[in-house]
Amino acid sequence: MRKTAVAVAFGAAAGTYEDDAHLQRLVAIRLFRRISALLSAAPPLPGPPHILEIGCGTGFLTRSLRQYRQDAELLVTDLSAPMVAQCRRHLGDAPGTTFLVMDGEQPCVRPPRAGFDLVCASLALQWFGDPAGALAAWAELLRPGGHLAFATLAAGSLAEWRAAHTALGLGAGVPDYPTAERLAMLWPSRGHGHIQIEPISCVYPDGHAFLSGLRRIGAHLAVPDRRPLSPGALRRVLRQVSRPAGFAVTYQVAYGWFQKDDLLA
């Protein structure tokens, strides 16, 4: 099953993830900046904020959230048990932090009495089969006036890798990432949301380094209906992307934030 394969791939990479997750580290910082701006602009809460993180990985975003609000109650989750364990190791003894292995598409958590103040996910949503269903489930867990915040990949990501395949008459195993317009259609009802796209370029020494980097972070699974390339076809793709200045890959990172209607406002 696809979900098991995703969990196994990321689990196997939990120990090497942070050495190669340059994009993920950067995006977590950018998403955290948006979250902190969001929370600082909101009216002060009567108590500590309750935050649910989905797809925590090794904890890039988690550590920023923990440092930002030491009084926050953090529920930190991921589909992969080794990722959750690695995240817990990185955070050390952090009071107010609970870790849970959980499928973010079917969040089986009991929200605090009023609901979570924030549900967030950095670069996890692109692995989901039903992102609209997941966002609706997350919104259910929010208190009125609470926020969702996520980063995911949008159309145009990995365009250079895809173009190299197309030029050779081959199909790349990368998903058809949604456009900003498609993402904006995923917002749950009873609230309003925004999507912002930021292109980020990463340069790898060559195609081999790009592929081995994906493997070391566990993000190497091809889309389910794509047959793997033969070794000869893969060699041709790697030659196709080979440049003296290295292989530059663009990621179109979509940041989404949503506020649930506050019935009392």
Ligand X SMILES: C[S@@+](CC[C@H](N)C(=O)[O-])C[C@H]1O[C@@H](n2cnc3c(N)ncnc32)[C@H](O)[C@@H]1O
Name the residues that contact ligand X, by CB under 6 A. Answer: 6, 10, 21, 24, 28, 54-57, 60-61, 78-80, 83, 103-105, 122-124, 127-128, 219
Q: How far apart are CA 194 and CA 188, in angstroms?
A: 12
Give 72 or 219: the residue with its C-beta nearer to ligand X.
219
Q: How far apart are CA 113 and CA 66, in angstroms?
A: 21
Q: How far apart are CA 206 and CA 203, in angstroms?
A: 8
Residue entry with tokens 């196994």: 8
Q: Are strands 142-153 and 247-260 parallel, antiparallel or unpaired?
A: antiparallel
Q: How far is the CB of 14 from ligand X (least distance, A)?
A: 8
Give 55 or 191: the residue with its C-beta nearer to ligand X.
55
Q: How far is the CB of 126 from ligand X (least distance, A)?
A: 8
Q: How far is the CB of 240 from ligand X (least distance, A)?
A: 26
Give 79 or 159: the residue with its C-beta nearer to ligand X.
79
Q: How far apart are CA 133 and CA 196, in angstroms?
A: 21
Give 123 or 241: the residue with its C-beta nearer to ligand X.
123
Q: How far is the CB of 4 from ligand X (least distance, A)?
A: 11
**How many CB atoms sit inside 10 A of residue 62's CB?**
27
Q: How far is the CB of 8 from ligand X (least distance, A)?
A: 10
Give 131 or 146: the residue with its C-beta nearer to ligand X.
131
Residue entry with tokens 């889309």: 223
